[in-house]
């Protein structure tokens, strides 16, 4: 997924080959990750697609099924991956992910610790930010999830950048061999305050910690723990995204001319009737040019979680 090898950096030009991971795009809310395999087929409501037809085509191309239905084949990115990965837990989405990466000040070469791994949605973006020379150490106490995450990172080609450990971070803290090595720590745990003292030991001075919690009580408790564990600049945010629908339509024009005629006293005794006829006049005139309009989409996420950030104090 990431062009960690500079020779492959213009991978889009590279044509799809056997063994590639592609994102099959039907609609913006209907995508699927598929490993291309010469002998396989993809079956969906549009029909049967033979993988062998895909090989040699460029990423971004449109491919057809035996029935003439079509899908697009996209190169995977962390954003697309977040939309197609298998949900083994609640996951973070682009708004929170982007803000976390920016506020943790991640750049190539950074070492970042994460717990829990969950479905690896955030991990993928952490890996992108610290590539090609940094490393993500991510921990989950749930063995199956850790194994599944490892398999995913293998599939997305991130295994060199990410190490998944099975560990109870709230109970045992992060492993001692990482003490003082972390540029940043991210916590998505039910009781983050239990992991904060250990996170403090792992961080370099002035390193940044972020804790994601859905409930304000968790934030309250984490913030108090941070303050008493040599953290400073403790700040809590909430980020959301509103999406917009766009459509082009011809709007009926309001004709002032017609209105004055209608308004002649005596001609229309009943106000109600008058209004009705004006309305029909407006509708009748659709000579206006089409315009593009936007409005917020009907449903949106109203809350995901609070993001609490803090910096390890720098004491001489």
Ligand X SMILES: C[S@@+](CC[C@H](N)C(=O)[O-])C[C@H]1O[C@@H](n2cnc3c(N)ncnc32)[C@H](O)[C@@H]1O
Which residues, other chains included, contact 96 with Cβ-Cβ below 8 Å and sequence gap of 6+? 122, 212, 239, 304, 305, 307
Phi/psi of residue 120, each to 5°?
80, 15
Annotated binding residues, written as ranges, equal 119-122, 140, 168, 188
Annotated binding residues for S-adenosyl-L-methionine, written as ranges, equal 119-122, 140, 168, 188
Residue selected from 143, 266, 269, 315 as contacting other proteins according to rule CB under 8 A: 315
311 touches other proteins by CB under 8 A: yes
Residues 149-178 that bind ligand X (CB under 6 A): 168-171
Q: Give the residue with the Cβ less far from ligand X, 61 or 166.
A: 166
Q: List the x/- string, 256-295, binding to other proteins by CB under 8 A.
A: ------------------------------------xxx-
53 touches other proteins by CB under 8 A: no
Residue 274: which of 264, 289, 283 has the closest Cα? 264
| Structure tokens, 114 | 């994460």
Residues 87-116 that bind ligand X (CB under 6 A): 89-92, 115-116
| Structure tokens, 234 | 């403790």
Q: List the x/- string, 201-240, binding to other proteins by CB under 8 A.
A: ---xxx---------x--xx--xx--xx-x---xxxxxxx
Q: CB–CB of 112/106 below 8 Å?
A: yes
| Structure tokens, 58 | 């460029």
Please tell me whether residue 251 adopts helix, strand or coil conformation: coil
Among the residue ranges 105-113, 166-174, 194-202, 256-264, the one whose residues contact other proteins (CB under 8 A): 105-113
What residue 188 binds from ligand X, other proteins, none (CB within 5 to 8 A, per partner kind)?
Answer: ligand X
Residue selected from 139, 153, 174, 309 as contacting ligand X according to rule CB under 6 A: 139
- The three-state (H, E, C) secondary structure of 271-288, written as one string: HHHHHHHHHHHHHHCCCC
Which helix (H) or strand (E) segment is 264 a member of?
A: none
Q: Please work out the total of residues on this chain that contact other proteins, with binding judged by CB under 8 A.
A: 79
Which helix (H) or strand (E) segment is 266 a member of?
A: none
- The least CB distance from residue 117 to ligand X, in Å, is 6
Residue selected from 57, 142, 155, 204 as contacting ligand X according to rule CB under 6 A: 142
144 touches other proteins by CB under 8 A: no
| Structure tokens, 10 | 């213009």
Quote the CA–CA distance of 110 and 129 in Å, as a whole number: 8
What residue 246 binds from other proteins, ligand X, none (CB within 5 to 8 A, per partner kind)?
Answer: other proteins
What residue 142 binds from ligand X, other proteins, none (CB within 5 to 8 A, per partner kind)?
Answer: ligand X
DSSP string, 296-308: E-S-------EEE
């Amino acid at each position: 997924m990431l062009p960690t090898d500079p020779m492959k950096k213009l991978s889009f030009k590279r044509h799809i080959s056997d063994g590639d991971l592609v994102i099959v795009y039907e609609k913006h809310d209907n995508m699927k990750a598929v490993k291309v395999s010469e002998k396989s087929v993809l079956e969906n409501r549009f029909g049967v697609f033979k993988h062998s037809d895909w090989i040699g085509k460029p990423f971004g191309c449109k491919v057809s099924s035996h029935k003439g239905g079509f899908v697009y084949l996209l190169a995977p990115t962390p954003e697309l991956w977040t939309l197609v990965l298998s949900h083994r837990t609640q996951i973070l989405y682009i708004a929170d992910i982007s803000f976390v990466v920016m506020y943790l000040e991640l750049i190539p070469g950074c070492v970042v610790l994460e717990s829990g791994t969950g479905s690896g949605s955030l991990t993928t973006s952490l890996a992108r930010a610290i590539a090609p020379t940094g490393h993500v150490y991510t921990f989950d106490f749930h063995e199956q999830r850790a194994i599944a995450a490892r398999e995913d990172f293998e599939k997305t080609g991130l295994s060199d950048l990410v190490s998944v450990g099975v560990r109870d971070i709230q109970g045992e803290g992060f492993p001692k061999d990482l003490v003082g090595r972390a540029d940043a720590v991210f916590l998505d745990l039910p009781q983050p305050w239990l992991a904060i003292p250990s996170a403090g030991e792992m961080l370099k001075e002035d390193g940044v910690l972020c804790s994601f919690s859905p409930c304000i009580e968790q934030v309250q408790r984490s913030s108090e723990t941070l303050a008493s564990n040599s953290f400073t600049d403790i700040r809590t945010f909430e980020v959301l995204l509103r999406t917009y629908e766009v459509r082009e339509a011809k709007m009926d024009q309001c004709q002032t001319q017609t209105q004055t005629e209608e308004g002649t006293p005596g001609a229309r005794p009943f106000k109600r009737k008058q209004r009705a006829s004006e309305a029909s006049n407006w509708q009748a005139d659709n000579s206006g040019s089409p315009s593009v309009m936007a409005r917020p989409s009907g449903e949106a996420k109203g809350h995901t979680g609070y993001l609490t950030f803090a910096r390890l104090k720098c004491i001489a």
